């Protein structure tokens, strides 16, 4: 979806890594935004800018 709009996307699908390890690696890489889709978000997307302490839940259908 975002890659089709010309955005660079890093998809971390490592099965052997825990979610915490994946989030830590994203921080080490300096990714500007974190988007998480999981069973816990129930059809929503968890959005967090790197420079923010807050996380927002957004509906997947509202994302371009």
Instruction: Please report the pLDDT score of residue 64 as a whole number.
Output: 63
pTM: 0.69
Here the CATH number for the domain that contains residue 44 is 3.40.50.800
HSE-up of 55 (CA within 13 Å, CB side)? Answer: 10
Domain tally, the chain: 1
Q: How many helices (H) and strands (E) does the chain have?
A: 1, 3
Instruction: Please report the pLDDT score of residue 29 as a whole number.
Output: 92
Percent of the chain with pLDDT over 70: 95
Q: Are 59 and 43 in contact (CB under 8 A)?
A: yes
Question: Which residues of the chain register pLDDT less than 70?
Answer: 1, 63-64
Q: Are 56 and 47 in contact (CB under 8 A)?
A: yes
Domain that holds residue 18: 3-62
């Amino acid at each position: 979806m975002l890659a089709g709009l010309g955005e660079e996307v890093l998809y971390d699908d490592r099965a052997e890594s825990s979610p915490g390890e994946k989030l830590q690696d994203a921080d080490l890489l300096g990714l500007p935004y974190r988007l998480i889709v999981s069973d816990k978000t129930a059809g929503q997307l968890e959005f967090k800018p790197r420079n923010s302490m807050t996380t927002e839940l957004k509906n997947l259908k509202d994302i371009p």
